[in-house]
Amino acid sequence: MKKLELENIKADLRGYLRNNNALISPEFRKVVADVARFVDVVIRDGFKVALTQSLANVNVQPDSSFIEVAEALVEHHIRFLRQVDREIAHKSLLEAYTHIADPRFVFEPTRKTEFVNALRRSGPKKFAALIISLHLYNVICGQIQNDLHRRIPDPKTLQLYLLKVEALCRDIIADIVKVQPAECDEEWALAVIRSVETQLLRPQVPPTKSSDLSIPTGYKK
């Protein structure tokens, strides 16, 4: 997305979200960290070991259909959240797992999907970024969809706008993750969440007159 268009969408969302103090529950950092640990074990010790560690008390086998495995894993990951936050978090995580596994094969055994190979390619941090991006988008849509339907009644125009919001979420998270060098743990996840909220909820301060003093004499706009 072009920089100007990105800033226009950001400004638009700030108008919709101006009454919010936060977007993502701080407890979501535990979900992200839990997913990152799972991915790390998959890469280090293999999928069966990771699944056994995460779902020791759940009757799901490595050869179960991917959708069964994913549903069980998601329920495990969101155990840290309040009930009111679980539905949207469940949606976000399931979308992330389905996306990397390839939606065409969700009813096949996990070994027949791209799930494990995709996790190995992405690593904990990249996959965590995908989850936060999808969750940010879902949270925003949940808050603004009623206003959007009133403002943009044409379905195609609305779909295009939402695609731009989704791209914005993806770009924001990608840029933030680039400058977050720490390990993908709770502290890292919370730092990403707080940085997102700073960009989308806090008013952007225009340049002050004093900042213009740095412009060389004779410069013309």
109 phi and psi angles, rounded to 5 deg? -55, 150
- pLDDT at residue 77 tops 80: yes
Amino acid identity at 79: R
Q: How far apart are CA 36 and CA 40, in angstroms?
A: 6
Q: What is the arithmetic mean of pLDDT over 23-42?
A: 96
Per DSSP (E only), the strands in the chain are none
Q: How far is the first Cα of the chain from the last one, in angstroms, to the nearest whole number?
A: 26
pLDDT of residue 180: 84
Q: How far apart are CA 41 and CA 17, in angstroms?
A: 38
Q: How far apart are CA 66 and CA 113, in angstroms?
A: 8
- Residue count (the chain): 221
> Which residue is it, tokens 């976000």?
92
pLDDT of residue 60: 85
Domain ranges of the chain: 3-202
Of 94, 92, 50, the C-alpha closest to 68 is: 94
The mean pLDDT of the chain is 88
Q: For the segment 172-218, what is each residue's pLDDT rounded down to a tens digit?
A: 999 999 998 878 999 999 999 999 999 898 766 554 443 333 333 33
Q: Helices 3-17 and 115-151, interaxial angle, to 10°?
A: 60
pLDDT of residue 211: 36
Q: Provide the 10 A C-beta neighbour count for residue 187.
A: 13
152 phi and psi angles, rounded to 5 deg? -125, 80
- pLDDT at residue 3 tops 80: no
pLDDT of residue 56: 78
Mention every residue, 6+ apart, whose C-beta is less than 8 A from residue 182: 188, 191
CA angle 22, 155, 141 (to 5 degrees): 10
- pLDDT at residue 142 tops 80: yes
Q: What is the arithmetic mean of pLDDT over 4-29?
A: 88
In this structure, are residues 80 and 65 in contact, taking their beta carbons and an 8 Å threshold? Answer: no
Q: How far apart are CA 25 and CA 63, in angstroms?
A: 34
